[in-house]
């Protein structure tokens, strides 16, 4: 039998369309003008660039790069730059969309933006990575700027790369421009507290909201998926505050002890540069940590369904889905990762009375301290770590309380409340530019 191929490949569902579908519930509670809604439906500007890079062996490779400014009504665009093989224009647009709402939710004077380059960064030498990062800035220099669009680190980009980017922009503009990039090394105008800001902000949100359910440190067990920059730092803060962190995991697997894990010992073990025992699984059966705490090995799938009070996904997107949502036994979820819960999982969790605090609030500490870095770069006055922590706490607590109040008043989920809160601010700013009511005589 002859098989026929479809003439056109099926169109994959758009990530941007999925991201914006989250707005629908919020729109029912917001008096958004038609004009504002129209403007928010598509990104303001999307730039695609080809970046030619001379490789170490003399060959030339051309990489595909993107920068998207979704909306800049409330201020210049703000968002990270991602280096990953899966980067596409659609992904960058949907991340820029999320950034627009995150900045508005935290009341930062920024719009939303995002950038990325499609590559596997592990295949490049450090010198190639530097040439690529500087080439990216050469290609997008006219699209960004301290008052236009400000870059930051994201997946597989770090402070060193931000330093190269800021330096390249300064070379092009013939003036030192630290405020065009945040997340820089401290010595190049970075901010105290930036590297742990996301964990610190998540900690502020958790310690503000958990007591509302009478969850005090001593009676709260927590499982954290992802023991990276954010997950490990958050685990340490929660441990120090007296919470019982009973399970943590990384890409290799996880460990679980219902009595609570010794987080400082596990962090020390993970960062042991002498033995380079980097996976948590090796903690189970080797070295001194096994003597410090008894624990069993769990897979990442098992960790998500442990019988704990609080689940913190802090690794990747799409971890809680329609396939496993019904098995989740935690009563509270705080989304530290971006997009760890799919839109199809949300109603399944709600049906089980699982309360969820959304990513755009929980992980906004990073962009908030990025804002502080930008302010410090522009004023030339640098703040101490306690000052940063104090300012961050004030902002995170205020917006967590405001989102909570909206959820209570409107009887919505925290996710919908967060979008309502952000949409109110965005709508107000968009309408302040003028709506059809100003121009049409009625
Ligand atoms: P990271 O790369 O430092 O850590 C990621 C962790 O997840 C690592 O421990 C890794 O081993 C683990 N991991 C990878 N695959 C996994 C899997 N299949 N199952 C379980 N664990 C797995 O990244 P990070 O900076 O800690 O970011 C974590 C999440 O937080 C991401 O979703 C990121 O977008 C989000 N986030 C980070 C920041 C920030 O400031 N770093 C800000 C906002 C949001």
- What domains lie within the chain, and their CATH numbers? 43-175 (3.40.50.10860), 197-353 (3.40.50.720)
Q: Pick the closest to residue 130 from 39, 233, 56 (CA basis).
A: 56
Q: What's the rounded Cα separation, in Å, for the pair 167 and 141?
A: 12
Q: What's the rounded Cα separation, in Å, for the pair 436 and 440?
A: 6
Q: Which of 19, 80, 102, 228 to mutate to test the pocket of ligand 1 (most atoms within 8 A of CB)?
A: 228
Three-class HEC string of 358-395: CHHHHCCHHHHHHHHHHHHHHHCCCCCHHHHHHHHHHH
DSSP 8-class letter at 119: S
Q: What's the rounded Cα separation, in Å, for the pair 200 and 183?
A: 15
Atom 30 in ligand 1: which residue has the minimum CA distance? 337
CB 230 within 8 A of CB 363: yes
For the chain, the C-alpha Rg in angstroms (whole number) is 22
Name residues contacting ligand 1 (CB within 6 A): 198, 225-231, 249-251, 300, 314-316, 336-338, 363, 366
Instruction: From residue 123, give the alpha-carbon distance in Å to each of 120, 319, 421, 437.
Output: 6, 27, 42, 55
Which pLDDT belongs to residue 12?
A: 54
CB 173 within 8 A of CB 358: no
User: How far does the centroid of ligand 1 lie from the alpha carbon of residue 251, in Å?
Assistant: 10
User: How far does the centroid of ligand 1 lie from the alpha carbon of residue 337, in Å?
Assistant: 6
Ligand 1 atom having least distance to the Cα of 316: 32
In DSSP terms, 255 is beta-bridged to 248, 297
Atom 14 in ligand 1: which residue has the minimum CA distance? 251
Ligand 1 atom having least distance to the Cα of 228: 4
Which pLDDT belongs to residue 13?
A: 61
Atom 36 in ligand 1: which residue has the minimum CA distance? 337
Q: Pick the closest to residue 293 from 316, 267, 326, 274 (CA basis).
A: 267
Q: What's the rounded Cα separation, in Å, for the pair 182 and 139?
A: 19
Spell out the residues 6+ positions from residue 175 whose beta carbon is closer than 8 angstroms to its own: none
Strands 310-313 and 296-298: unpaired
> For 219-292, where are the E strands, in sequence order?
221-225, 244-250, 253-256
Q: Pick the closest to residue 403 from 101, 24, 194, 40 (CA basis).
A: 101
Which pLDDT belongs to residue 393?
A: 98
Give the pair of three-digit tokens for residue 209. Answer: 């909201």
Per residue of the chain (442 residues), give pLDDT as tens: 333 333 343 445 677 777 777 788 888 898 888 888 888 888 999 999 999 999 999 999 999 999 999 999 999 999 999 999 999 999 999 999 999 999 999 999 999 999 999 999 999 999 999 999 999 999 999 999 999 999 999 988 999 999 999 999 999 999 999 999 999 999 999 999 998 999 999 999 999 999 999 999 999 999 999 998 899 999 999 999 999 999 999 888 889 999 999 999 888 877 765 455 555 555 444 443 334 456 788 888 999 999 999 999 999 888 999 999 999 999 999 999 988 999 899 999 999 999 999 999 999 999 999 999 999 999 999 999 999 999 999 999 999 999 999 999 999 999 999 999 999 999 999 888 777 777 776 5
Q: Which of 229, 236, 320, 360 to mutate to test the pocket of ligand 1 (most atoms within 8 A of CB)?
A: 229
Burial (CB count within 10 angstroms: exposed 0-12, middle 13-18, buried 19+), residue 356 = buried
Spell out the residues 6+ positions from residue 418 whose beta carbon is closer than 8 angstroms to its own: 101, 105, 358, 360, 361, 403
Which pLDDT belongs to residue 277?
A: 54
Tokens 């540069």 label which residue?
273
CB 202 within 8 A of CB 243: no
Give the pair of three-digit tokens for residue 96. Answer: 């820029």
DSSP 8-class letter at 428: H
Instruction: From residue 368, give the alpha-carbon distance in Å to each of 23, 58, 129.
Output: 22, 42, 27
Q: Is 122 a catalytic residue?
A: no
Spell out the residues 6+ positions from residue 157 whose beta carbon is closer than 8 angstroms to its own: 80, 81, 82, 83
Catalytic residue among 44, 102, 114, 244: 114
User: How far does the centroid of ligand 1 lie from the alpha carbon of residue 324, in Å?
Assistant: 20
Which pLDDT belongs to residue 287?
A: 40
Q: Which of 98, 230, 300 to mutate to test the pocket of ligand 1 (most atoms within 8 A of CB)?
A: 230
Which pLDDT belongs to residue 158?
A: 92
Q: Pick the closest to residue 74 from 47, 125, 36 (CA basis).
A: 36
């Amino acid at each position: 039998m002859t098989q026929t191929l479809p003439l056109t490949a099926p169109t994959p569902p758009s990530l941007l369309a999925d991201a914006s579908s989250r707005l629908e519930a919020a729109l029912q509670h917001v008096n958004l003008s038609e004009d504002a809604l129209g403007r928010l439906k598509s990104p303001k500007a999307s730039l695609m660039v080809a970046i030619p890079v001379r490789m170490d062996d003399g060959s030339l490779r051309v990489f595909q790069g993107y920068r998207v400014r979704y909306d800049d009504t409330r201020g210049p665009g703000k968002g990270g730059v991602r280096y990953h093989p899966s980067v596409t224009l659609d992904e960058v647009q949907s991340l820029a969309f999320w950034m627009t709402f995150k900045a508005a939710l935290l009341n930062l004077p920024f719009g939303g933006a995002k950038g990325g380059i499609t590559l596997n960064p592990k295949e490049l030498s450090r010198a190639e990575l530097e040439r690529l990062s500087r080439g990216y800035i050469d290609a997008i220099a006219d699209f960004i700027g301290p008052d236009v669009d400000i870059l930051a680190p994201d997946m597989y980009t770090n402070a060193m790369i931000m330093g190269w980017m800021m330096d390249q922009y300064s070379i092009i503009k013939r003036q030192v421009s630290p405020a065009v990039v945040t997340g820089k090394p401290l010595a190049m105008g970075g901010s105290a507290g930036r590297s742990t800001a996301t964990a610190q902000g998540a900690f502020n949100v958790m310690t503000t909201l958990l007591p509302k359910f009478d969850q005090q440190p001593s009676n709260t067990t927590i499982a954290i998926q992802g023991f990276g920059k954010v997950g490990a730092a958050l685990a340490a803060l929660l441990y120090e505050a007296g919470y019982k962190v009973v399970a943590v995991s990384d890409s290799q697997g996880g460990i679980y002890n219902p009595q609570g894990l010794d987080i400082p010992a596990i962090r020390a073990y993970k960062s042991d540069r002498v033995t380079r025992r980097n996976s948590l699984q090796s903690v189970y059966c080797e070295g001194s940590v096994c003597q410090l705490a008894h624990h069993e090995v769990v897979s990442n799938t098992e960790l998500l369904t442990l019988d704990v009070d609080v689940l913190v996904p802090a690794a990747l997107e799409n971890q809680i889905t329609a396939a496993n949502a019904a098995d989740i036994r935690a009563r509270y979820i705080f989304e530290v990762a971006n997009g760890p819960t799919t839109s199809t999982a949300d109603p399944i969790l709600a049906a089980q009375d699982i309360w969820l605090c959304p990513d755009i609030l929980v992980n906004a500490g990073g962009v908030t301290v990025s804002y502080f870095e930008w302010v410090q770069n522009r004023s030339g006055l640098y703040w101490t770590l306690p000052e940063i922590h104090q300012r961050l706490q004030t902002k995170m607590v205020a917006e967590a309380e405001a989102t909570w109040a909206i959820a209570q008043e409107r009887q919505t989920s925290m996710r919908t409340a967060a979008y309502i809160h952000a949409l109110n601010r965005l709508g107000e700013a968009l309408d302040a530019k003028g709506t059809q009511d100003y121009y049409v005589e009625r």
